[in-house]
Amino acid sequence: MLDIKFVRENPDIVRQNIRNKFQESKLELVDQVLELDKENREIKQEVEALRANKNKISKQIGALMAQGKKEEAEEVKRQIAASGNRINELSEREKEVEAQLKEKMMVIPNIIDPSVPIGKDDSENVEVERFGEPVVPDYEIPYHSEIMESFNGLDLDSARKVAGNGFYYLMGDIARLHSAVISYARDFMINRGFTYCVPPFMIRSNVVTGVMSFAEMDAMMYKIEGEDLYLIGTSEHSMIGKFIDTILPEESLPQTLTSYSPCFRKEKGAHGLEERGVYRIHQFEKQEMIVVCKPEESPKWFDKLWQNTVDLFRSLDIPVRTLECCSGDLADLKVKSVDVEAWSPRQKKYFEVGSCSNLGDAQARRLKIRVNGKDGKYLAHTLNNTVVAPPRMLIAFLENNLNEDGSVNIPVALQPYMGGQTKIEKKA
């Protein structure tokens, strides 16, 4: 959410930003916000003047009564009563105006970074850099669910009976590999100086609206019936929510946390052929990283966060690339975002395995995350990034480490988490 003062002083910048995000239907919000802001300030000024006058003339009553001027005193009382009624009337209108103003401000997108490429959707995202050499072996790479099933490691049929489509059972070596990747990612981030955390897996509605846009909320979140609780779509939500309505000492920054959680997502919309199996699912587990920092430090942390993910994937022999998200592909709260994509030898292309985002002060403004600095209080900046999110990450892992005989190599970095195994073998 933008600062109303910024919108008031820079309406043309806000309008152009909306155009850059190809959201022309929101242009009318700028004028509506400016009108509501004007009315709100006029109400406050009138209420302040009425209260000042009310206090001033209230002092006259005693003097008039002492002078025997009863009728004049009664007239002053009537004026005070009228002022009180008008103040009450204005105060009620003020609440309505502020509620409307907040609702519309929550929909206006954040100002994107000048470096963000302008484009309509993810088809116009821009490749930044490749890490590792993509390899296509001279033998066939089966679909990921077939690879998992060859190890007796995946049971989708039973999951459909128990929970429906979009759920799965991981079994045996594949389940162990899944847990090994999560554990390795946890230690990888701890070794990079991040504090490990296991957060709440449910959050209240005020946290949901503080960390994401309404469009994201509708597309992603599962609500707990009869309670003000939502299942998290990513632990970023509860990790940023940890700082709601707090004033952080400047010397305590940056706050760097890495968290484990299950994640739950509706995943609305049609699913393509390549999104079968465990690619697009309603439940998965993830290791996440978040940073709360000073505004001038957020660009530096943004680069550090996506680099962490690149380094982790490379340590597991998986080629990756970074992709700069264009303006039309950015969620409304984001200032800048880079996707990390892993190489798929089977598809002969890259696919998304993580996303790194700088949200500027948007989440901090909504959640009132402030910093007590030497020159006064200011809003923090927040960032987040995926470390790993299996089982999707397992797709990249299995395809890139699959041998011709169907076995899968375990990279050296992961072997301690797999009981020393150097490969997993197909089951008879």
What mean pLDDT comes out for the span 13-39?
A: 97
Most confident of 216-220, 319-323, 390-394: 319-323
Mean pLDDT check: name the lowest of 120-134, 205-219, 248-262.
205-219
Q: What is the pLDDT of residues 249-288, one digit of tens each?
A: 999 999 999 999 999 999 765 445 455 788 889 999 999 9
Question: Which band of pLDDT confidence, cut at 50, 70 and 90, is reported for residue 428?
Answer: low
pLDDT at 89 > cutoff 80: yes
Distances (CA, A) of 422 to 132, 260, 415, 417: 21, 26, 6, 11
**Between 214 and 386, whose confidence is greater?**
386
> What SS3 class is residue 47?
helix
Mean local confidence (pLDDT), 298-304: 98
Q: What is the pLDDT, as a whole number, of residue 51?
A: 87
Token pair 């950015």 is found at: 330
Residue 73: per-residue pLDDT: 79
Predicted confidence at residue 273, as pLDDT, reads 46
What pTM does this model have? 0.90
**Bond before 391 cis per omega within 30 degrees:** yes
Given a cut of 90, whether residue 72 has pLDDT beyond it is: no
Which residues neighbour 369 within 8 Å (Cβ) at sequence distance 6 or greater?
Answer: 240, 243, 244, 245, 246, 248, 292, 363, 379, 380, 382
Which two structure tokens, joined as six digits, stand for 396? 């990249």
- CA R_g for the chain: 28
What domains are there in the chain, each with its CATH number? Answer: 4-105 (1.10.287.40), 122-424 (3.30.930.10)
Per residue in 341-389, pLDDT (tens digit) is: 999 999 999 999 999 999 999 999 999 999 999 999 999 999 999 999 9
Name the H helices within 214-340: 214-220, 235-241, 298-315
**Does 145 have pLDDT greater than 50?**
yes
Residue 398, pLDDT score: 97
Q: How far apart are CA 138 and CA 88, in angstroms?
A: 79
pLDDT for 270 equals: 45
268 burial class (0-12, 13-18, 19+ CB within 10 angstroms)?
A: exposed
